[in-house]
Every structure is written in structure tokens, then in C-alpha cells.
Structure 1
Amino acid sequence: MNKDVSIVIADDHPMLLKGLHDQLEDSNYNVISSAANGMQALEAILTLQPDIALLDIDMPLLSGFEVVKMAKDKGVHTHFIMLSFHKEADYVTQAKALQIQGYLLKEDPFFEIERCIEAVLSGKYYFSKSFEDNILNNASKEIKKLQLLTPSESTILKLIAQRMATIDIAENLFISARTVEKHRSNIIRKLGLEGETNQLTNWALTNKSTILEL
């Protein structure tokens, strides 16, 4: 029944893109479009509404994460799977923040892609077996903490991640500096960052990519 599964694939490495295309076709999947950059991938997803989009993260014009965010904002029902060389925790956290169902490493064997496709089509999450459990668990914990924030707190955290000072945030949001400080205190408490004065700023800068995806 693989022919019933429509797939868009995207990777800016021509050989990797062709190899993935050929393997999927050989396994009787219906590859309806191949893209060499993020903009092409987004256009294909919005136009063709595939069941699955297999996306590289590092692509020209738009990253894989940006493609997912923009496609989701348009209300598409495509299931997303990231294919990447990145094993770092912050990439996993970003994927979880965007509620991406699948994340595989390019070193994984092809049968893992098939398992992942089957899982996400069933509404499940499937992350590479190469990820250590602590990376997945820590990423989930960070996302749960961020979900505790109110919309106002999330907005302020995003501005902090962009290196904006309290007074500038206050002017930007038309509120008092005192109100910003109160929100900062609440954010620090909810994220469990009690301690150094600059800890929230440092944490926001370290996790900037994830914060801005919220």
C-alpha cells in the first residue's frame, strides 16, 4: 500500500536527494516532488498537500524548521520527518517545539525511514534510535517548561532572546519596566532558573532557536 502514501522530499545535496528519491521509489512510495531548497519544499507542500514531507534541516532560502512552521501556519495536514546530520540537543528540542513527529539521522538505514513513515502516519512520534534517551527526555522537559508560560511571558522571552533590554521591551510592548520585571521573575520561576542575575538572558540566548519557534 506504499503507493497510497504521497511524499515530498527536500535536500540541497543532489546526490543525497537522488539517493533518497530512488530508495523511496524502489520501495513503491509515491514521491510526488523533490526540492533542492526550503522555498521549493514549502511551495510543493502547500500546493500538493502530501501525506509526508521528508526534509533536510540545513537548506538554502528556508531551513527545514522554517518550512514546517510556515506550512503549519497555513494549516496543512502533512506529517513532517526531519532528516539531518545534527544530533545536538537543541535541534531535538526545536523539533519537539514544532511538534514534528519524526526525526532521523542521515546515517540511519533506510528501513528506519520506512518505520518512521509508518509511525507518523499512525499519529505516533518516531525519533532516531541513535539519540540517547537523556537528550530526548531533556528536550521534552524543556518544552513542558516553556508550555507553562503565558502568552505575555512567551512574547517577553522571545524579545529577551533577541537581546532586548527591559526598558526596550517595555517600550516595545507599551507596558512599564516594572511589569516586564515581574514577567521576568515569573519566567525564571517557571523555567527553574533561580540563581544568577543574567541566567535568564543566558538561557534565552542559548535556546534562542527553540524560543523563536514557539
Structure 2
Amino acid sequence: MAINIVIADDHPLMLRGLKDFLVSKGFNIVGIAEDGNSAYNLIVKLKPEIAILDIRMPHKTGLEIAEDCKKNNIDTKIILITFDKEEELFQKAKEFNVYGYILKEFAIEEIEICIKNVLKGNPYFSEDLKDILEITKPNLDIIESLTKTERKILSLVAENNTSQEIASELSVSIKTIHKHRSHIIAKLDLDNKPTSLLIWANLHKKYF
């Protein structure tokens, strides 16, 4: 049985290339859209097994479509194609039950294997993206080793608070905050540059 697919991308060449490739592989393209609103309407109307969406489109992004599908209990499995490699977007995609996340430069190479995985209920993410995420993902065991106070300090650092402001917030001396910061830096194996802890805290604030 042919698999019904809706595809959406605001770049006509990308859209046509993806359509031609999928048709040549035996998939049934039931709808095509060049903006997010049209894509979402097609998904609601046609209820395809899969929707392959560009993340950045006019009116509604691929992520917003995925979020709406989740809210409205639409069973269509979403695959996103994108040039974006930001971890924040990847985490949102997982939150909205996105089944596939493919980098555009590898879309034609990976889309067929992605669809096969998704149809089995197995999420699929570009290999290149996995490498990037492994670099940015912290060692969760190290974060677990931080005390409750150290985590609180990290969250305040991530909000760009100074040591003096953190001391006031926690009703302790600035000397105590400096001591905590030293312990945190040692546990995280960071260098002693003034900005190192701030950068780390901002990159990983979702983990503490």
C-alpha cells in the first residue's frame, strides 16, 4: 500500500526535487504547500501518514505545525527538514513529538531511510546532527554531582546575575558565592576565565 505524504517548503526547487524523488520511490504525494498555514490545513484535511516540512516557512513554521498536531491529537508523523543545527530547535522538535529531523544538505540522501524508520515508529535524526548534539550535550552525571545550592547559583549565573547579586538573592556573603563558584568550575572542569562559567551556564541551563 502506498504511503500518503504531504510535503511543504517555501523554496519551489527544493519542493519539486523532494516531490520527484519521493514519487520515484513509490510514495504517494497527496498534498504540496509553500507556506505553513496551507501545510497544516492539508494535514488536517488529508490526514496523511507522514508530513515532511521545512522548519522555516511563512505564516507557520514546521515546529508550530508539529506543536498544533500534538495539541489536536493528529496522528500524522512529522519529519522536519532544515539548515538549522541549533540544539534548542532540536529539543523543541522532540518535545512536539517530531519523528524525523533531517539537515537539508542531506535531505535527498536520508529521506527514504528516515521515512522507513518513522513508519516503524522509530525516530530518525541526521547523523551529522547527532554528532553536533553529542558535542553540546553535557555529562549529566557531572550535573547530578552538583549540590542544590550549586545548581541554584548556576541558574542565577545563566540569568546574567553578578556574584554580588547572587549573594544578595541567597542571603550569603560574596565570599561564600566565590567559594561555590570555584567548586562548580572545578567540578565542570572549566578554565578560570571570567566568562567561562557564564557561557557554560547559558548553553546548558535546561539541565539544572
**Which TM-score tier does this pair reach, normalised by the shorter chain?**
0.5 to 0.7
Q: Secondary structure at the match of 2:60?
A: coil
Residue 191 of structure 1 and its aligned partner are, at CA, apart by 11
Shift of 1:132: 3.9
Q: Distance in 1 between matches of 2:48 and 2:73?
A: 13
Letter in 2 for 1:19: G
Alignment check: 8 A CA contact 2:80 2:102 kept: yes
What is the rounded CA distance, in whole Å, between the counterparts of 2:25 and 2:102 in structure 1?
Answer: 18
1:50-69 map, 5 Å: 50-69=48-67
Going from structure 1 to structure 2, the CA distance change for 1:47 and 1:93 (only over 3 Å counts) comes to same
Match of 2:22 in 1: 24
Q: Secondary structure at the match of 1:114?
A: helix
Report if aligned partners of 2:70, 2:97 keep a CA contact under 8 Å in 1. Answer: no
Cα distance change, pair 31–135 in 1 and its aligned pair in 2 (3 A): same
1:99 pairs with 94, 97, 110, which one?
A: 97
Q: Give the equivalent residue in structure 1 for 2:123.
A: 125
Are the equivalent residues in 1 in contact too, given 2:37–2:59 (CA < 8 A)? yes
- Counterpart Cα distance in 2 of 1:104 and 1:71: 19
Shift, 1:53, TM fit? 0.4
Q: Which amino acid aligns with 1:195?
A: L
Q: 1:191 to 1:52 in 2, by over 3 A?
A: farther
Q: RMSD between aligned alpha carbons?
A: 3.1
Instruction: Indicate which of 52, 68, 71 corresponds to 1:70.
Output: 68
- The SS at the match of 2:154 is coil
List alignment gaps of at least 5 residues for structure 1.
146-188
CA–CA distance in structure 2, aligned partners of residues 120 and 8 of structure 1: 14
Structure number with greater Rg is: 2
Amino acid at match of 1:43: N
Identify which of structures 1 and 2 has the higher relative contact order when contacts are C-alpha pairs closer than 8 Å and 6+ apart.
1
SS in 2 for 1:62: coil
SS at match of 2:91: helix
Aligned residues: 160
Aligned counterpart for 1:199 among listed residues 151, 158, 170? 158
Q: Measure the CA separation in 2 of the matches of 1:100 and 1:191.
A: 34
Deviation at 1:32, TM superposition (A): 0.2
Identity across matched positions, percent: 35
- CA drift at 1:99: 2.1
In the TM superposition, residue 101 of structure 1 has moved relative to its aligned partner by: 1.2
- CA offset digits 1:121-175 (Å, max 9, x no partner): 1111110011143515866999xx9xxxxxxxxxxxxxxxxxxxxxxxxxxxxxx
The 1:10–1:192 alpha-carbon spacing in structure 2 relative to 1, beyond 3 Å, is farther
Q: How does 1:110-189 map to 2 (within 5 A)?
A: 110-133=108-131, 135=133
Q: Deviations over 1:180-208 (max 9, x none)?
A: xxxxxxxxx599453363535899xx79x
The residue type paired with residue 33 of structure 1 is G
Unmatched 5+ stretches in structure 2:
162-197
> How many angstroms does 1:88 deviate by?
1.8
Q: What CA distance in whole angstroms lies between the structure 2 residues aligned with 1:28 and 1:55?
A: 19
Q: Which secondary structure state, in structure 1, belongs to the residue aligned with residue 127 of structure 2?
A: coil
Tell me if structure 1 keeps the 8 A contact 2:5–2:52: yes
**Given the superposition, is the C-alpha separation of residues 141 and 64 from structure 1 closer, same or farther in structure 2, using an over 3 Å criterion?**
farther
Instruction: Tell me if structure 2 keeps the 8 A contact 1:193–1:199.
Output: no
